[in-house]
A and B are shown apart, each in its own frame.
Chain A
Amino acid sequence: MRFRRIDPAPSLAHQIHFEGTPIPFAEGDTVAGALLAAGIGTFRTTPVTGAPRAPYCLMGSCFDCLMRIDGAENRRACMTPASNGMRVERARGPRPAGEERMP
C-alpha cells in the first residue's frame, strides 16, 4: 500500500535520515507520516516473533510503530514530530537490556 499526500504541493525542504536514507518531510509531519509518505512499509520487527510491523492506529495507542529515534529506543513514530536531521532506524526485535546507544 502506498500513501500519498493530500497537499498537492507540499514544501519538502527538510529531511530526516532513515537508516542512512534522506527522507523529506513537510511542516507538521510526524516521523510516521514522513516515512509512510515515502513508501516505507516496515517500521519494526517484534521482540517475540520477529514479525514485521507498521503503524496501525497512528494515534499513540497501538505501539506498532516503535522505532529508534536519535538513539532512543522504542519511540512511537506516530507521536514524534519530524525535525530536520533526525536519525531514525527500525526497532529490530527487543531493545537491548544493557547500555543504550546514546545520541
Chain B
Amino acid sequence: MTAGHDLAVIGGGLIGAAIAWGAARSGADVLLLDEGDIALRAARGNFGLVWLQGKGLGHPDYMHWSIRAGRLWPELARLLTEETGIDPEWRGGGGLNFCLSEADLAARREMIARTADAGGEIDIRLLDRAELRALAPGIGPEVLGASLSDLDGEANPLLTLRAFHTGVQRQGGTLRSNSRVQSLHPMAGGGFRIGLADGAELPAQRLVLAAGLGSETLAAQLGLTLPLRPERGQIVVTERVAPFLHHPTNTIRQTRDGTVLLGSSHEDVGFSTGTDIATIARLCNTGARLFPALAEARLMRAWGAVRILTPDGLPVYDGAPDHPGAFVVTCHSGVTLASVHALDLGPALARGRLGPAPQTMRSSRFALSPD
C-alpha cells in the first residue's frame, strides 16, 4: 500500500476547504473529502458575515483569534481572486450593529468597554442616530444608533467556498465528492486508512476532521470527546433593490447585486433545515423597522441551515493524543475564521501541528470531570 496523501481533510465545507487550500499552498499533497448534496452543508446556508465586534467576550483567545481573522480577510480575498479567478466578494468598511432601544445602546456600550478591557485590537464606537444616518440614510424612526467596528466585513459564502474548492485543485490537491467517511483506522507505523461509505479505503499520512455535525462520531473513533448540537438559523431574501446599505450589519446585508438578506434566528429544532412563517415574519418585520422602505420589497425565498455548536459556543482545535497526525477542527463562524484557517492553520496542520490555534480551545474542556 502506498503512503497515500500527505493530508486528508474530511469535510468540504468552509472549514475543511479553507484548511485544505492552505495546506496545499504550503506544498502538501492534499485530499479533500466532501459529502453529497444531501449533507447538511452549513457552508451553503450561511449569512456571509465577517463579524468581529462582540465576539469572544469573556474568552480573550477567541476574541484575538477572530480579530486576527478579520485582519487577514483582505489578504485572503486577494489571494483567492488571484489564484482561482473567483472573487469571494469580500467587502470591509465596518459593520453596524443596530440599536432599537436604550437597553440595546447600553449593551453595546458594555460590549465596547469589555472588548477594550480584553485588549481587543479593534476599534468599535457607538454612533448616535445622526452619525448613523450619515452612513445609512434610510434608517427608520425607531433606530437610535449603532455600534460600528472597523474590522467587520462581509463575503459571499458560496463564492468563497467555490474559490477554496477550485484553489485546492489548482494546487494539485484532490477534491473527492460524494465521499461520506465512515471509519478511521490508524495504521501501525503511522498514517491512517479512511473508510468511505462506498467501501473505498484511502490512505493518508495525516488527517483533519472538519465534518461539521458529522465530526462527533468520527472524533469518538479517535478517542476525542466532541459534543456538538445543531442550532437552526433562517435567512430571508428579497428581490433586488437599488443599493441603500453599504455596510454589513448584524441582521441585514445587501449584496453588491442589490439582493437583501435578513437573518439572525436561533432555533433548537434538531437537524431540521426547514423554515417557519413566524420566524420569516419576524425577520421581515425587523428589516422593515430598520429600513422602512423594505416594507415594499418582496420576499423571494427563505431557507434554514444548522449551525454547529459546542457546549460553550467556542471553536475546537485539537489533536488526538493517542493518534499523532489526526486533528479535529470545528466552529460556527466558518466565514469569519476562513482567513486564519486558510493562511495560519492549513500550513501548520500540513506539518502535523496545531500551530497558532489557541490552546484554550482543545476538546479536553468537554471531558467529564471526575466528580
Decide if A100 is an interface residue (CB 8 Å cutoff): yes
* Range, interface on chain B: 10 to 19
Looking at chain B's contact residues, the main secondary structure is loop
- Interface membership of chain B positions 227-263, coded 1 if the CB is closer than 8 angstroms to chain A and 0 otherwise: 0000000000001111110000000000001100000
B258 contact from A94, A98, A99, A100, Cβ within 8 A: A94
Decide if B296 is an interface residue (CB 8 Å cutoff): yes
The residues of A that contact B258 with a CB separation of less than 8 Å are: 47-48, 94
Q: 20 additional contacts, CB 8 Å, given A47-B240, A97-B243?
A: A47-B242, A48-B240, A48-B257, A73-B239, A73-B296, A74-B239, A74-B298, A94-B240, A94-B241, A94-B243, A94-B258, A95-B240, A95-B241, A95-B242, A96-B241, A96-B242, A97-B241, A98-B244, A98-B293, A99-B296
The residues of B that contact A100 with a CB separation of less than 8 Å are: 296
Q: Which 5 A-B pairs rank lowest in CB-CB distance, beginning with the nearest?
A: A97-B244, A94-B242, A100-B296, A47-B240, A97-B241
- Complex Cα–Cα for A100 and B337 (A): 39
Decide if A93 is an interface residue (CB 8 Å cutoff): yes
The residues of B that contact A94 with a CB separation of less than 8 Å are: 240-243, 258
The residues of A that contact B257 with a CB separation of less than 8 Å are: 47-48
Decide if B138 is an interface residue (CB 8 Å cutoff): yes
Distance of A48 from chain B, by nearest CB (Å): 5
Distance of B295 from chain A, by nearest CB (Å): 9
Q: Interface size on A (CB < 8 Å)? A: 12
CB nearest to A95 among chain B residues: B241
Distance of A99 from chain B, by nearest CB (Å): 7
- Interface membership of chain A positions 27-52, coded 1 if the CB is closer than 8 angstroms to chain B and 0 otherwise: 00000000000000000000110000
The answer to whether A97 and B242 touch (CB under 8 A), given A47-B258, A48-B258, is yes
- Complex Cα–Cα for A97 and B291 (A): 9
The residues of A that contact B293 with a CB separation of less than 8 Å are: 97-99
The residues of B that contact A99 with a CB separation of less than 8 Å are: 293, 296
- Interface membership of chain A positions 86-103, coded 1 if the CB is closer than 8 angstroms to chain B and 0 otherwise: 000000011111111000
19 interchain pairs, CB-CB under 8 A: A47-B240, A47-B258, A48-B257, A48-B258, A73-B239, A74-B240, A93-B242, A94-B240, A94-B241, A94-B258, A95-B239, A95-B241, A95-B297, A96-B241, A96-B242, A97-B241, A98-B138, A99-B293, A100-B296
CB nearest to A99 among chain B residues: B293
